[in-house]
Amino acid sequence: MPLTVVLAQINLKVGDLTGNAQRITAAAVEARERLGADAILFPELALTGYPPEDLLLRSDFLDQCEATLAELQATLHGIHLILGYPRRRDGVLLNAAGVFYNGERVAEYYKALLPNYSVFDEKRYFEPGGTPCVVTIKGVAVALTICEDIWFREPALRAAAAGAELLLNLNASPFHTGKSPEREELLRKRALESGLDIAYVNLVGGQDELVFDGGSLVMGRDGRLCQRGPAFAEALIPVQFGPQGPLPGAVAAHCEEVEAVYRALLLGVRDYARKNGFQGAVLGLSGGIDSAVTLALAVAALGAEQVEVVLMPSRHTAEMSNQDAIAEAEALGVRHTTLPIEPAFATLLQMLQPLFAGLPPDVTEENLQARCRGILLMAISNKQGRILLTTGNKSEMAVGYATLYGDMAGGFAPLKDVPKLLVYRLAAYMNREREIIPQRVIERPPSAELAPDQRDSDSLPPYSLLDPILERYIEQDQGVAEIIAAGFDPATVARIIALVDRNEYKRRQAPPGVKITRRAFGRDRRYPLTNGFSATL
Amino acid sequence: MPLTVVLAQINLKVGDLTGNAQRITAAAVEARERLGADAILFPELALTGYPPEDLLLRSDFLDQCEATLAELQATLHGIHLILGYPRRRDGVLLNAAGVFYNGERVAEYYKALLPNYSVFDEKRYFEPGGTPCVVTIKGVAVALTICEDIWFREPALRAAAAGAELLLNLNASPFHTGKSPEREELLRKRALESGLDIAYVNLVGGQDELVFDGGSLVMGRDGRLCQRGPAFAEALIPVQFGPQGPLPGAVAAHCEEVEAVYRALLLGVRDYARKNGFQGAVLGLSGGIDSAVTLALAVAALGAEQVEVVLMPSRHTAEMSNQDAIAEAEALGVRHTTLPIEPAFATLLQMLQPLFAGLPPDVTEENLQARCRGILLMAISNKQGRILLTTGNKSEMAVGYATLYGDMAGGFAPLKDVPKLLVYRLAAYMNREREIIPQRVIERPPSAELAPDQRDSDSLPPYSLLDPILERYIEQDQGVAEIIAAGFDPATVARIIALVDRNEYKRRQAPPGVKITRRAFGRDRRYPLTNGFSATL
SS3 string, A465-525, reads: HHHHHHHHHHHCCCCHHHHHHCCCCHHHHHHHHHHHHHCHHHHHCCCCCCCCCCCCCECCE
- Residue A146 has a pLDDT of 98
Contacts of B60 in chain A (CB under 8 A): 478-482, 535
Instruction: Judge residue B198's burial from the number of C-beta atoms within 10 Å of its C-beta, 0-12 exposed, 13-18 middle, 19 or more buried.
Output: buried
Q: Phi, psi (5° rounding) for residue A446?
A: -65, 145
- Give the chain A residue nearest B127 (alpha carbons): A116
Q: Is A519 left (phi over 0), alpha (psi -120 to 50) or beta?
A: beta
Contact between chains at A374 and B337 (C-beta distance less than 8 A): no
- Of B65, B133, B147, B372, the catalytic one is B147
Convert the pLDDT of each residue in B268-290 to its tens digit. 999 999 999 998 999 999 999 99
**Distance (Å) of CA A292 to CA A332, A335, B194, B287:** 10, 14, 67, 44
- Residue B453 has a pLDDT of 85
Number of Cβ atoms within 10 Å of the Cβ of B131: 10
- Residue B1 has a pLDDT of 85
Contacts of B527 in chain A (CB under 8 A): 53-55
Convert the pLDDT of each residue in B305-355 to its tens digit. 999 999 999 999 999 999 999 999 999 999 999 999 999 999 999 999 999
Separate counts of helices (H) and strands (E) for chain A: 17, 19
- Rg for chain A (alpha carbons), in Å? 26
- A380 contacts B359 by C-beta, under 8 angstroms: no
- Rg for chain B (alpha carbons), in Å? 26
- Residue A201 has a pLDDT of 98
Nearest-angstrom CA–CA distance, B363 and B458: 14
Mutate to test the interface with B, among A209, A383, A484, A524 (most CBs of B within 10 A): A383
Instruction: Judge residue B98's burial from the number of C-beta atoms within 10 Å of its C-beta, 0-12 exposed, 13-18 middle, 19 or more buried.
Output: buried
Nearest-angstrom CA–CA distance, A457 and B170: 49
Number of Cβ atoms within 10 Å of the Cβ of A192: 14
- Give the chain A residue nearest B336 (alpha carbons): A355
Structural domains in chain B, CATH included, are 3-254 (3.60.110.10), 260-456 (3.40.50.620)
Contacts of A480 in chain B (CB under 8 A): 60
Residue A147 annotated as catalytic: yes
Contact between chains at A276 and B530 (C-beta distance less than 8 A): yes
Mutate to test the interface with B, among A56, A60, A506 (most CBs of B within 10 A): A60
Strand partners, B385: none
- Residue B33 has a pLDDT of 98
Q: Phi, psi (5° rounding) for residue A107?
A: -165, 155
Instruction: Give me the mean pLDDT over the A318-343 stretch.
Output: 96
Contact between chains at B531 and A14 (C-beta distance less than 8 A): yes
Reduced to 3 states (helix: H, G, I; strand: E, B; else coil), residue A204 is strand
Instruction: Judge residue B29's burial from the number of C-beta atoms within 10 Å of its C-beta, 0-12 exposed, 13-18 middle, 19 or more buried.
Output: middle
Q: Which amino acid is at A391?
A: T
> Residue B536: pLDDT above 80?
no
Contact between chains at B375 and A376 (C-beta distance less than 8 A): no
- A1 contacts A241 by C-beta, under 8 angstroms: no
> Residue B257: pLDDT above 60?
yes
- B456 contacts B448 by C-beta, under 8 angstroms: yes
Please tell me which of the candidates B16, B116, B510 has its beta carbon nearest to residue A533. B16
- A184 contacts A149 by C-beta, under 8 angstroms: no
Number of Cβ atoms within 10 Å of the Cβ of A316: 16
- Residue B456 has a pLDDT of 86
Strand A307-311, strand A335-338: pairing: parallel
- Residue A537 has a pLDDT of 56
> How far apart are the CA of A246 and the nearest CA of chain B, in angstroms?
37
Number of Cβ atoms within 10 Å of the Cβ of B421: 17
Name the average pLDDT for chain A: 97
Instruction: Give me the mean pLDDT over the A288-304 stretch.
Output: 98
Convert the pLDDT of each residue in B203-252 to its tens digit. 999 999 999 999 999 999 999 999 999 999 999 999 999 989 999 999 99
Side-chain-side CA neighbours of A289 within 13 Å: the count stands at 25
- Residue A136 has a pLDDT of 97
Contact between chains at A378 and B355 (C-beta distance less than 8 A): no
Instruction: Give me the mean pLDDT over the A299-310 stretch.
Output: 98
Q: How far is C-alpha B162 from the chain's CA centre?
A: 36
Confidence of residue B177 (pLDDT cuts 50, 70, 90): very high
Contact between chains at B343 and A351 (C-beta distance less than 8 A): yes
Mutate to test the interface with B, among A530, A534, A536, A537 (most CBs of B within 10 A): A530
Please tell me which of the candidates A49, A59, A116 has its beta carbon nearest to residue B477. A59
> How far apart are the CA of B356 and the nearest CA of chain A, in angstroms?
8
How would you write B132-175 as a 3-class SS string? CCEEEECCEEEEEEEHHHHHCHHHHHHHHHCCCCEEEEEECCEC
- B396 contacts B231 by C-beta, under 8 angstroms: no
Residue A44 annotated as catalytic: yes
What spatial distance separates the first Cα and last Cα of chain A, rounded to whole Å?
69
Please tell me which of the candidates A54, A367, A528 has its beta carbon nearest to residue B382. A367
The 10 Å CB-count burial string (b at 16+, else e) for B367-394 is: bbbbbbbbbbbbbbbbbbebbbbbbbbb
Convert the pLDDT of each residue in B10-46 to its tens digit. 999 999 999 999 999 999 999 999 999 999 999 999 9
Contacts of B208 in chain A (CB under 8 A): 528-530
Nearest-angstrom CA–CA distance, B465 and B457: 11
- Residue A279 has a pLDDT of 84
Q: Phi, psi (5° rounding) for residue B217?
A: -150, 165
> How far apart are the CA of A368 and the nearest CA of chain B, in angstroms?
7
- Give the chain A residue nearest B537 (alpha carbons): A64
Reduced to 3 states (helix: H, G, I; strand: E, B; else coil), residue A417 is coil
**Distance (Å) of CA B530 to CA A13, A365, B519:** 8, 36, 21
ω into B419 cis (within 30 of 0): no
- Of A133, A147, A226, A255, the catalytic one is A147
Please tell me which of the candidates A206, A271, A355 has its beta carbon nearest to residue B380. A355
Q: Which amino acid is at A91?
A: G
Nearest-angstrom CA–CA distance, A80 and A251: 25
Contact between chains at A535 and B61 (C-beta distance less than 8 A): yes
Q: Which amino acid is at B412?
A: F
Q: Which amino acid is at B462?
A: P
Please tell me which of the candidates B272, B347, B368 has its beta carbon nearest to residue A379. B368
Convert the pLDDT of each residue in A410-435 to its tens digit. 999 999 999 999 999 999 999 999 99
Instruction: Judge residue A411's burial from the number of C-beta atoms within 10 Å of its C-beta, 0-12 exposed, 13-18 middle, 19 or more buried.
Output: buried
Residue A515 annotated as catalytic: no
What spatial distance separates the first Cα and last Cα of chain B, rounded to whole Å?
69
ipTM of the complex: 0.96
Closest CA to A208 of A417, A421, A420: A417
- Of A13, A111, A275, A515, the catalytic one is A111
- Residue B537 has a pLDDT of 56
Contact between chains at A378 and B117 (C-beta distance less than 8 A): no
ω into A51 cis (within 30 of 0): yes
Instruction: Give me the mean pLDDT over the A192-216 stretch.
Output: 98
Q: Phi, psi (5° rounding) for residue B8?
A: -95, 90
Work out how many CB contacts closer than 8 A connect A with B: 244
Contact between chains at B347 and A350 (C-beta distance less than 8 A): no
Contact between chains at A376 and B347 (C-beta distance less than 8 A): no
Number of Cβ atoms within 10 Å of the Cβ of B500: 19
- Give the chain B residue nearest A366 (alpha carbons): B379
Q: Using alpha carbons only, give the angle A75, A77, A83 rounded to the nearest 5 degrees.
A: 80
> Residue A239: pLDDT above 60?
yes
